[in-house]
Every structure is written in C-alpha cells, then in structure tokens.
C-alpha cells in the first residue's frame, strides 16, 4: 500500500502477524495513523495482538481511544 497515511481496520485480524505487517508498511510516511475498531466481543482476537492482561484492560476501560505500539 504505497503512500498510505491513514489505515482503518474494521475487524481484528485472525493472525497477529498480519496486524504487525500491515502497520509496518506505514513506516515510510511522516504523518501516519492506524485506527483499529473493536468491541467487547472481539476480546479473543484482541488478546492475540496485545496479550491477555492488556486486552482485559482495554475492554473494561471507560476511555474511548487507546494508543499502543
């Protein structure tokens, strides 16, 4: 994906490697953003990407926006 600056992922990937590969393709841009939409029902997929404890914290949080690398 050449020249992309904003990436929106509507569904968490089944394989965590796909998420990292996709986000790493954005490194060439100075002004980049990646938004991932998830709900409480996506807990298992979220656990695969960020781990069990962080996924629980993200799902239970009152905050609407999270930034993590």
Q: Is residue 66 pLDDT above 70, yes or no?
A: no
- The span from the CA of 11 to the CA of 36, in Å, is 7
- For 1-49, the pLDDT digits (tens) are 667 778 888 888 777 788 777 777 776 667 777 788 888 888 888 888 8
pTM exceeds 0.85, yes or no:
no
- For 56-65, the pLDDT digits (tens) are 888 888 776 6
% of the chain residues with pLDDT over 70: 81
pLDDT at 53: 92
Phi-psi region of 63 (alpha: psi -120 to 50; beta: other; left: phi over 0): beta
């Amino acid at each position: 994906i050449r020249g992309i600056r904003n990436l929106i992922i509507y569904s968490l990937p089944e394989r965590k490697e796909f998420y990292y590969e996709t986000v790493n393709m954005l490194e060439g841009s100075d002004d980049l953003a990646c938004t991932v939409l998830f709900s409480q029902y996506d807990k298992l997929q979220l656990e695969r990407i960020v781990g069990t404890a962080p996924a629980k914290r993200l799902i239970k949080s009152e905050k609407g926006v999270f930034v993590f690398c």
